[in-house]
Chain A
């Protein structure tokens, strides 16, 4: 067949292909983002919440006949970085998950890739339900671009009650240890009883940072601690430095614990899961964790009963407060196919009902201050105790996830690893933090304006 006749015969097919391509390019749906207004893709972190959210999806589908909700998991590593590419692309889910403290939030916000959620905040009454610091943290130029759906307590240390009994250590009263010397003595006793001491997932991208977070609030005056949470902003009126004695003392303690054999053997080569495995197998006496750790520890069915306490204060006489991580955030990317449906879902989810039946049921703490501790019996016994104690000893915002990642977690953990490995002195490490702070303050490194 001559070429011209072939082309003539193929014309209808070509026209069909071009039409189909045009339709796909323009979007077939009726939603404002080009979606069909009926199917909703929700990104959530992998872990216990992932299965609990299925129920929210079913409830939403029932309340909105014809809608279909699908959930897509994102792991911790991806959510801290590579996820930015997905959330800014046309393939983005309608609702994205990110941590407010990471560069993903900064990059999306700076490039106007997040849909303002003021209408969701208003309809769900979030400004009244969150604490003032949470509202401030989630307000950018008077607008809200994300919803915080859970709060985490990062510094409880779980212990093996049988190991403590064997070592002759009584349960720490009020879950507090009076001093560093007392803590070191406890570790010495459990080691003498044949256990590894204090477990930290030193190779994970956050665990060692949480040790610093747990020690810092009692190492510096409260006003200085508040300053450290905000002084990265240009023009910040404070003289508090990371080379000040309080911060150096934290670094010195972290390094001393390695020299004194307080941590488990091989701490720097062990990630969080491996440290947890060592603990649940009964070889490790104490494990640094969070309220979120308890569910997975119980799931491993250890052959011993667990207790918990907080690391000792670095200023004698003080009580160690809880560190709260407020960063687990749901957002609606501007390229979402069904932004209106996404907002409707967020409004549906951000209620007292789901804060109790979904967030608390998976071992996380609700973010609404209006929810009384008495209604959270599903938290799990130890987490319930943590939540109740947090209301008496107080909460502070976690340092390493409040400051930008170029000073916080992503920067800090490798410095702490070098410190523990003996490659840096506490003073040299402190100087590195101070230099990172000055880079942020001067605008040499971005992230200070988030």
Chain B
């Protein structure tokens, strides 16, 4: 065989299987990666770029380095919003996951009317948040709202100005956020609970373990990974709950319900200060990321402990 023939034979030979094995996954993932780059990475990079300068929504960004971030540190409104966001986040996550878990457990244990409860509790999830916000904004009105009417009927007073008071508006918003998300948490956790073999519950019942004991000793330890997932998702949802807050209070009274996404909206679209709004958005993203990582770590440890 001459040297030329050797080269041709090599060129015509099929590619080694290992190389093909490497290319195939990349080819399969490529469309998703491209979409991720275009729809997620590029806008985030764009926000970071805008956050480094001033921009009024048109034309070029005038870069000022980290000025916007320095301004953020001195801005009492931003700190106030971070505090409000954390309160909103804690309230929403704790109540959503707790109620979601209790409801899922009740349905899983087939309480009377379980199937109807499942549908009824999931209904708020399919209602658009803006509509839920407007509905509850009317329901919380002092003179005409259904909330005060019901409270009045049971003797708890019928003139509460829920959304007009800085001390109660946030709690009203938390209530609505929990109302809209609990059904989702319930459904996810119910799916996890139904993977626990019925025999385990039966054996515990025979051993004299009550309903609460079964929940804490059998059900919860077995659904820790899913609890972690739903807590992470609820955390992200609650930190981004722009729709409910804007439809109910627009961040007011004053700034008492102005969570970070509402502040970002005001800074960017009302004040037309897109650079500063983007800097706040970047900080918000970092806070959400840190919280997400913390929640996942806590639940990963819980999962390991449960094993």
Residues of A within 8 A of B (CB): 80-82, 84-85, 88, 103-104, 106-108, 110-111, 113, 196, 202-205, 264-271, 274, 277-278, 281, 283, 405-406, 410, 414-415, 417-418, 420-421, 423, 446
Contacts and interface: CB of A to CB of B under 8 A. Distances in A.
B222 interface: no
B179 to A, nearest CB: 18
B96 to A, nearest CB: 23
Given A111-B56, A113-B58, A203-B253, A410 B141 contact: no
B57 interface: yes
Interface in B116-162: 137-138, 140-144, 159, 161-162
Contacts of B165: 268-269, 421
A421 B253 contact: yes
B168 to A, nearest CB: 9
Nearest to A406: B271
Nearest to B162: A269
A104 B254 contact: no
Contact of A265 (B142, B252, B266): B142
Interface string B249-279: 1111111100000000010111110000000
A421 B257 CA distance: 13
Contacts of B164: 202-203, 265-270
A258 B53 CA distance: 41
Contact of B56 (A106, A267, A423): A106
A266 B269 CA distance: 27
B254 A266 contact: no
Contacts of A267: 161, 164
A405 B270 contact: yes
Nearest to B166: A421
Contacts of A204: 250
Contacts of B210: none
Contacts of B141: 266, 269-270, 274, 278
A281 B169 CA distance: 25
Given A103-B271, A421-B165, A203 B144 contact: no
Contact of B270 (A106, A113, A202, A410): A410
Q: Which 10 A-B pairs have the closest CB atoms?
A: A269-B163, A81-B269, A103-B272, A266-B161, A418-B254, A269-B164, A266-B142, A268-B164, A268-B253, A107-B56
A267 B165 CA distance: 9
Nearest to A263: B164
A203 B270 CA distance: 15
Nearest to B254: A418
Nearest to B246: A77
Contacts of A106: 56, 272
Contact of B59 (A80, A111, A270, A277): A111
B249 A278 contact: no
Nearest to A411: B271
Contacts of B166: 421, 423
Contacts of B57: 84-85, 88, 107
A415 B252 CA distance: 10
7 contacts: A81-B269, A84-B272, A269-B141, A269-B169, A417-B253, A417-B254, A421-B166
Nearest to A84: B57
A110 B138 contact: no
Contacts of A82: 269
A281 B252 CA distance: 25
Contacts of A421: 165-166, 253-254, 256
